Amino acid sequence: MRDRTARRRYILQRIAAFNEAISREHYKHSIGIKDKLETVKIYKQYADIFTKPNITLAAASMQTTTGTWASRRNRNLHAFLVEGYIGDQLKKESEAMNNYEAAATITVDGKKITYRHIGSLVMNEPKRDKRKQLFDACEPIRKKLLNFEKKLMAKEKKLLKELTGQDYLTFYNNYKGVDYDELAEELRRFLIKTDGAYTKAIAAAMKSIDVPPDDARQYDFARWERATAWDKHFPKGKLVPTLKTFLHGLGIDLDQQKNVELDTADRPKKVPRAFCTTLRIPDEVKLVLKPHGGQSDYQTILHEAGHTEHYAHTRADLPYELQHLGPYNVTESYAFLFEYLMTDPLWLQHHLNMTAKQARDFTRFLMLEKLFFFRRYCGKVIYELKLHRDDLRMLDAHFNPTTKKYKTMADCYADIQGRATKIQYVKTNYLLDVDGGMYSAEYVQAWLMEAMLKTELRKRFGQKWWTNKNAGDLLKHLWETGTTGRTIEELAHEIGANGLSIEPMTKEFLEVFA
């Protein structure tokens, strides 16, 4: 027993060093200061971590431990070792895919453009035919990335079965404690309940940018979402000052947080997707954003600030398995809590000097965007369950299975996402749009918790809870338990609820769009 405890302690020390090394490598590559991602050498340096004996040791510990935290720590460790072993086996293919994407370019009108910069160009392009040209020019790159993804996913599932004896969904259900079928049924009902109101609202949105609602494409939604009419309220120069002022209202001084670094530089090879990276929790947390211009920058920086403050306030003495490892639905809840302050008219008036009417109009815009994304993720959960079960049964108008079948999983993806969002999706994305480990379900849970947490904060501290340092103190208390020291269900109970519920979010949407 003593030898096993010592071995476990050694494994955790090595994991902490590996995570920091691999995170730094991805960080440098993602912010555009290192062209080539080199993870293979890091995996080789820490080859003693991701071994079958270590996985067996962690699996045995799961069977013998009792107590909430002890069991959770062992479950997180076991899953990390399993995923790390698979990552080690796939490191060359993954690195090749990342490096291909980073170096990929298209040529439009004689101008060479990096693939990762296309998203920014599309959303800022007012001419639909030009947007289409940019988007369609990326199809060969998407196909190449899809070929990478096909091989990676097939190998991942094979290895997972070999290591655990479980299929993909069973493993992640046991690890993350989510009944995916029960969740999907709840989301199916939500899609039906909100379909009429959403269809009407998204059709009006597409017409506002001269796009026929029955022919709306991904690049059209990106343009609508860019919301250029609101740019005057979201200048780049006020982006960081607004964040700092908001945090100050909660009793957080970003300038005095020595463990937090903010990177908003616009580099050509910087990844377009903002992120928070935790090199060492809570000692070194970085918030990274590539500004596109407009309201989306403000949303994104608030979202990533939610992650950043959560990890920056995590207890330093918390066990590593609870600081760094495990599901991410809790931290996504805090990210959404901050992001969707921009749907609060009072917040908009207070921090961005909007008039009451402007704030109401912008809130309606952003609530439609939020409903789009929530419905999109409802569709993703439903689709990904079919993907991982190789279930080609066609769905009817209520997202129930029929006796008919889709020809391919790509057809299944395009149909489900098209009906969930009323936007036409390219079939090439049927694997590229899949996040590993059923992360889509964690996002959905986080959206539900955001609505619940916001309701409770308003109840305790008033409509302007974000100006109350006592609200900040409550959040700091909740943040202390890191990634999984408190599960999302435990968080719900902590704020006085019986459990995670979809009702607050459903009510919120229907009040706006009924």
pLDDT band at 384, cuts 50/70/90? very high
Domain carrying residue 49: 2-176
Same domain, 85 and 184: no
Query: Taking 70 as the threshold, does the pLDDT of residue 17 lie above it?
Result: yes
**3-class DSSP state for residue 460?**
helix
Backbone angles phi, psi at 141, to 5 degrees: -70, -45
Q: Which of 76-80, 199-203, 228-232 has the least mean pLDDT? A: 228-232
Q: What is the pLDDT of residue 271?
A: 80
CA 112, CA 122: separation in Å to the nearest integer? 15
Same domain, 308 and 296: yes
Q: What is the pLDDT of residue 298?
A: 93
Same domain, 101 and 229: no
Same domain, 255 and 317: yes
**pTM for this structure?**
0.93
Query: Taking 60 as the threshold, does the pLDDT of residue 1 lie above it?
Result: no
What does each C-alpha distance from 240 to 226, 243, 310, 335 come to in angstroms? 19, 5, 18, 16
Same domain, 141 and 65: yes
Q: What is the pLDDT of residue 270?
A: 85
Q: What is the pLDDT of residue 62?
A: 83
Whether residue 81 contacts residue 55, with contact meaning beta carbons closer than 8 Å, is answered with yes
Same domain, 346 and 457: yes
Of the two residues 73 and 120, the one the predictor is more confident about is 73
Over residues 456-473, the mean pLDDT reads 97
Whether residue 367 contacts residue 509, with contact meaning beta carbons closer than 8 Å, is answered with yes
Domain boundary among 124, 153, 176: 176
Q: How many domains does the chain have?
A: 2
Q: What is the pLDDT of residue 66?
A: 67
The enclosing domain of 335 has a CATH number of 1.10.1370.30
Domain boundary among 157, 176, 195: 176
Same domain, 116 and 196: no
Same domain, 425 and 457: yes
Q: What rounded mean pLDDT belongs to the chain?
A: 94
pLDDT band at 202, cuts 50/70/90? very high
Same domain, 165 and 203: no
Same domain, 105 and 184: no
Query: Taking 90 as the threshold, does the pLDDT of residue 157 lie above it?
Result: yes
pLDDT band at 383, cuts 50/70/90? very high
Same domain, 211 and 150: no
Q: What is the pLDDT of residue 85?
A: 95
Q: What is the pLDDT of residue 292?
A: 73
Query: Taking 80 as the threshold, does the pLDDT of residue 425 lie above it?
Result: yes
Here the tokens at position 26 are: 């991805």
Query: Taking 60 as the threshold, does the pLDDT of residue 347 lie above it?
Result: yes
Same domain, 282 and 380: yes
Of the ranges 284-293, 294-303, 373-382, the best mean pLDDT one? 373-382
Strands 401-405 and 260-263: unpaired
| pLDDT digit string, tens, across residues 27-68 | 999 998 888 888 889 999 999 999 999 999 999 888 776 678
Q: What is the pLDDT of residue 5?
A: 83
Here the tokens at position 461 are: 């501290």
Q: Which of 66, 77, 65 lies closest to 7, judged by CA?
A: 77
Query: Taking 70 as the threshold, does the pLDDT of residue 293 lie above it?
Result: no
Matching residue, tokens 């995590």: 314
Q: How far apart are the first and last CA of the chain?
A: 61
3-state helix, strand, coil in the chain (%, to 5): 70, 5, 25
Domain boundary among 142, 176, 210: 176
Query: Taking 80 as the threshold, does the pLDDT of residue 495 lie above it?
Result: yes
